[in-house]
Homo-oligomer: A and B are copies of this chain.
Amino acid sequence: MKSLKQKILTDGSVISNTVLKVDTFLNHQIDPKLMADIGKEFAHRFAGKSITKILTLESSGIAPAMMTAMELSVPLVFARKKKSVTMNEDCYIADVYSFTKKETNQITVSKKFLSPEDQVLIIDDFLANGEAALGLYQLIQQAKATTVGFGMVIEKSFQPGREKLLLTGLPVESLARIESLANGMVRFIEHEEMSVK
């Protein structure tokens, strides 16, 4: 997605070989026009799938997921992060390990918002190790609902998340795929068709 890649180049900051900061437009300050374009792009990439719901994780996933839900005219559900959840029969719960924070959090979603009839598209802001996306996938599985695919705004393709998600057999659509952050420079994977399987 050209406008997103351009934005990453102009406004993103490479903090290290593995960390890209995009807090000026994606996960602290948010550019609404870009979010609208992201929503349109995800809707386009998953066109023809009968999506009934968008699932994301608080907080940074909410803005792009919201605009995708808007484009597809379906509800958005965001899972909540908790340090530790006591067993609760009203919620689906999954463990998500954070490599950044080196801790396991639990993510939860109320059982009433995922049902076996649902066809759910998972949206998140970053794909790195895939832990958050797989946690969301587990919540959908617990509900015996169907996952339609994964829509990720920025993918750090040099980390193993994409491969892990592909093991589910589901399509993974990332709007900007970053091959490398070496030498303080963002290099995208170029010349690549990212059509939905």
Interface residues on A, range: 20 to 34
Interfacial residues of chain A within 51-86, with CB under 8 A of chain B in the complex: 58-59, 62-63, 66-67, 69-70, 73-78, 80
Number of copies: 2
> Which of the candidate stretches A23-31, A95-103, A145-153 sits at the interface with the other chain?
A23-31
Interfacial residues of chain A within 1-30, with CB under 8 A of chain B in the complex: 23-25, 28-30
> Which of the candidate stretches A32-40, A130-138, A170-178, A187-195 sits at the interface with the other chain?
A32-40
The answer to the question of A113 belonging to the interface, with a C-beta cut-off of 8 Å to chain B, is yes
Chain B residues, CB < 8 A from A35 = 66, 70
In the complex formed, the residue of B with least CB distance to A59 is B58
Chain B residues, CB < 8 A from A109 = 28
| B30 and A78 within 8 A (CB) | yes
The answer to the question of A142 belonging to the interface, with a C-beta cut-off of 8 Å to chain B, is no
The answer to the question of A110 belonging to the interface, with a C-beta cut-off of 8 Å to chain B, is yes
Chain B residues, CB < 8 A from A62 = 59, 62-63, 66
Q: How far is the CA of A29 from the CA of B114 in the complex (A)?
A: 10
**Which of B30, B58, B110 interacts with A77 by CB under 8 Å?**
B30
Asked if A70 meets B28 with Cβ closer than 8 Å, knowing A59-B59, A76-B63, the reply is no
In the complex formed, the residue of B with least CB distance to A83 is B83
Q: List 22 A-B contacts (CB under 8 A).
A: A24-B112, A28-B77, A28-B80, A28-B113, A29-B77, A29-B110, A29-B113, A30-B66, A30-B75, A30-B78, A32-B70, A32-B73, A32-B74, A33-B70, A35-B66, A58-B58, A58-B59, A59-B62, A59-B78, A62-B62, A62-B63, A63-B76
